[in-house]
Amino acid sequence: MSCGEFELIARYFDRATCSRRDVEKGIGDDCALLSVPEKQTLAISTDTLVCGVHFLRDIHPADLAYKALAVNLSDLAAMGADPAWLTLALTLPQVNESWLKAFSDSLFELLDYYNMQLVGGDTTRGPLSMTLGIHGLVPQGRALKRSGARIGDWIYVTGTLGDSAAGLALLQHHVKIDDPVAHEALIKRHLRPMPRVLQGQALRDLASSAIDLSDGLISDLGHILQASACGARLNLDALPLSEVVKQNFPAQQTLHWALSGGEDYELCFTVPEINRGALDVALGYHGVPYTCIGQIAPQSDGLTLLQNDRPVEINLKGFDHFGSR
């Protein structure tokens, strides 16, 4: 029996590059069969990427595969989980073998880097989109949640903010810069975000809450504040901006990108005063900067944005698929 769909799946996605011992049965049965070790909790997350909504129509398939997986890895990072297994549901308008090869090569490169195994999925015909289901493991009781922030905790972010939004604006020709190296660097920050998996794991037992920055700092910090029933004071002067963004765009634009640009996939987390020393030890080993940008406040205070130590009003919204922009 010759069936195009099954051959397709087999050819590009049934690769035995990584064979984890906790995978009893991977691709090729009605379900994958997986073992969760004792004293480990399963962490799972699902993200859909739709062509024209989450990625541009002309994106290279290698960039698309990278980003689809990186976005999901970022959710595991925000829980402090260790990546394990992936499912991929891929909807394609037609079979394009060179597209599939580039997509799957890039996907497996990143899977292998994290010692992950593709354990199942679905391939269907339709408008280009994909849904990834990512599964990670975290020691019992040590997962980072959004709900643990307490008044007085310090608010941190990893890396720099707004680069991804700047890269997207460049790709969409909404802005331009002359320096080709800076241009490339920002586009790479948009297309190839680095999930902070190791940083998330280092934050176990240290951070009181964490989230990854997918929708923009204001929006995502808002989720921590809501889940933790807190407010916050955010020091806009402290927001970490990359040199390339600072040198090429006006301050108001970079501030807007840093606060609401989205897709930076950095971690935003809170740390109690008592853990700040340990934090410096834990994250000091990593090459990724981290910056204190504010402090958790009582819920009744809401979210206060400070510039030069004075409250300012800024009208911003995070990315919202169904809301008005």
Residues 228-247 that bind a second copy (CB under 8 A): none
| By CB under 8 A, residue 158 contacts a second copy | no
Q: How far apart are CA 257 and CA 241, in angstroms?
A: 10
Give the nearest distance from C-beta 12 to a second copy in angstroms: 12
Q: Which amino acid is at 227?
A: A
Give the nearest distance from C-beta 79 to a second copy in angstroms: 5
Q: Which residues contact 29 (CB under 8 A, 6 or more apart)?
A: none
Annotated binding residue 55: no
Residues 292-321 that bind a second copy (CB under 8 A): 317-318, 320-321
Residues 48-107 that bind a second copy (CB under 8 A): 48-54, 75-76, 78-79, 81, 85, 87-89, 91, 94-95
- Give the one residue of 105, 171, 194, 222 binding a second copy; rule: CB under 8 A: 222
Read off the tokens for 123.
């391939």
Annotated binding residue 276: no
The site that binds a second copy (CB under 8 A) totals a number of residues, namely 79
Q: How far apart are CA 95 and CA 82, in angstroms?
A: 33
Q: What binding mask, one character per residue, do residues 178-217 give for a second copy by CB under 8 A, x or -?
A: --------------------------------xxx-----
Residue 232 and residue 303 in contact, taking contact as beta carbons nearer than 8 Å: yes
Annotated binding residue 74: no
**DSSP per-residue string spanning 122-157:** EEEESSSEEEEEEEEEEETT----STT--TTPEEEE
Read off the tokens for 10.
């087999």
Residues 108-147 that bind a second copy (CB under 8 A): 119-127, 129, 131, 133, 135-136, 138, 140, 143, 145-147
Q: How far apart are CA 189 and CA 176, in angstroms?
A: 16
Give the nearest distance from C-beta 169 to a second copy in angstroms: 21
Annotated binding residue 146: yes
Give the nearest distance from C-beta 111 to a second copy in angstroms: 16
Mutual orientation of helices 61-79 and 180-191 as an angle, nearest 10°?
Answer: 60
Q: Which residues contact 223 (CB under 8 A, 6 or more apart)?
A: 146, 211
Residue 266 and residue 187 in contact, taking contact as beta carbons nearer than 8 Å: no
- Strand 82-92 to 117-125 pairing: parallel
Residues 24-53 that bind a second copy (CB under 8 A): 24-25, 28-36, 38, 41-53
Pick out the residues of the known binding site for substrate: 54, 263, 319
Pick out the residues of the known binding site: 30, 45-47, 54, 75, 121-122, 146, 212, 214-215, 263, 319
